[in-house]
Amino acid sequence: MDVYDIAQTIIVIEFLIIMSVVLATYFSIIIIFLMKKRAKKLKGKAEKFLTTLILQKERFQRKQFLPAWERLDLLISLLNKMDEEVARSDWEKIKNDLLHEIVLPLARKSALDASWPQRLLAAKSFCFLCEKGDERLVEKLANDDNDLVSLNAGRATINHASEQSIRRMVDRIHNRRWLSQKMFLSVFDHAPLIICHYVADYLGCPIPDPYIRSTCYRILLKYPKSSIPRIDIYPDLQSNNMDLKLKALKFLSHAFSLEEAMPILEENLSSNAWEVKVVALNGLKQLHASESDHQIEKLLRDPNWWVRLRAAETLNSFGERGRQILQRQDVHLDAFAYDISQHVLSYQP
């Protein structure tokens, strides 16, 4: 066989491989399309069945619910849709029966499945309802290796929280990487007020790990000042752990009054760490502590650019009083202070 025949054979083989991939992709798309079409049709029939029960004020009966409808992916989508579109009083009893008789048994089985998509569906199901005996399964899903499963199990924990489950959740979050922490902390964005009290009580315990305490502060910062119980944060403000100290400073300006917070924030303006000075400046800006203007003015000459910028922005936020300080900076006395003042003054329309 000469070189030409070998090349021709290789070309034919490559062509057959490409055609096989194209055909496999085509048939896969067709199969997915048909599956989605069937699922949509099943969901429509199940929705029509439940809507009829609501309109006729009939009770939900398991035997009338077709086996083909007993799929968690279909049921979760249907539950979300009905929650949005149907009056709560008409739908709640039927929804409760549906959850107890069909959704929860399927979720308990899927929670132990080797396939992560099935465990994800289980975690999403427990967001709707979680009985006392299901706490062990939710805890297992919360520790799942797959972040999507773990995240949705976290939502289920928030929706049906106990004090101990929230503490375990905080312990898990603090061990994650920063971006992962941010994602998992988002489940607290609309958490009920009782969660705030659970976290505050946990923070009141003698927790030696500074990163657990820091995570608690990050959660509490999501709640309005009026909802947060009184907490002794002063030991954390003196911490040698930078992350904990910064979170405690942020919490100070968020949850404490101007009279309580201002002296501590002013004290931290003389810190050796630029991060501490920036957080203290942000706190004074948040509290509109215009009486601190002379201490803040000194930081217009700080060696760190971020500190100078935050100092100038804080003064600018005080209105005419602060802008007068920025306008009187002299380029011949301190070029840094002058440049950053002019930069911030240029913000004005």
Give the whole-angstrom CA distance, residue 142 versus residue 159.
13
CA distance 52 to 60: 10
Query: Which of residues 290 and 15 earns the better pLDDT score?
Result: 290
Reported as a single tens digit per residue, the pLDDT across 129-174 is 998 889 999 999 999 999 999 999 999 999 888 899 999 999 999 8
Per-position b or e across 172-200, b if 16+ CB within 10 A of its CB: bbbebeeeebebbbebbeebeeebbbbbb
> How many Å apart are CA 246 and CA 207, to the nearest integer?
17
Domain ranges of the chain: 42-57+69-160, 161-256, 260-349
CATH number for domain 260-349, candidates 1.25.10.10, 3.40.190.170, 3.90.1150.10, 3.30.505.10: 1.25.10.10
Residues 6+ apart with CB under 8 A from 74: 39, 42, 43, 46
pLDDT tens string 318-330: 999 999 999 999 9
In whole angstroms, what is the distance from residue 313 CA to residue 320 CA?
A: 13
Note the pLDDT of residue 47.
79
In the predicted model, what is the mean pLDDT of the chain? Answer: 90
Only one residue has tokens 């935050």, namely 310
CB atoms within 10 A of CB 222: 18
Average pLDDT over residues 81-107: 87
The model's pLDDT over 165-186, given as tens digits with 9 standing for 90+, comes to 999 999 999 888 888 899 999 9
Indicate the burial class of 95 (C-beta count within 10 angstroms; 0-12, 13-18, 19 or more). Answer: buried
Q: Using CA atoms, how far apart are residues 19 and 22, in angstroms rounded to an integer?
A: 5
Q: What is the pTM of this model?
A: 0.81
Taking the C-alpha atoms of residue 130 and residue 147, their distance in angstroms, rounded to an integer, is 20
Q: What pLDDT is attached to residue 294? A: 94
On whether the CB atoms of residues 214 and 174 are closer than 8 A, the answer is yes
Give me the mean pLDDT over the 85-109 stretch: 88
CA–CA gap between residue 37 and residue 149 (Å, rounded): 26
Q: Could you report the per-residue pLDDT of 44-86, keeping only the tens digit for each?
A: 788 788 888 787 777 878 778 888 888 899 899 989 988 888 7
Q: How confident is the model at residue 1 (pLDDT cuts 50, 70, 90)?
A: low
Q: Is the pLDDT of residue 349 over 60?
A: no
Q: For 288, left (φ over 0), alpha (ψ -120 to 50), or beta?
A: left
Residue 280: predicted pLDDT: 97
Cβ neighbours for 52, distance < 8 A, ≥ 6 positions apart: 58
> Quick one: how far is CA 93 from the chain centroid?
31
- Are the C-beta atoms of 156 and 136 separated by less than 8 Å? no
pLDDT of residue 2: 67
Per-residue pLDDT at 40 exceeds 90: no
| Rounded (5°) CA angle 311-314-315 | 90
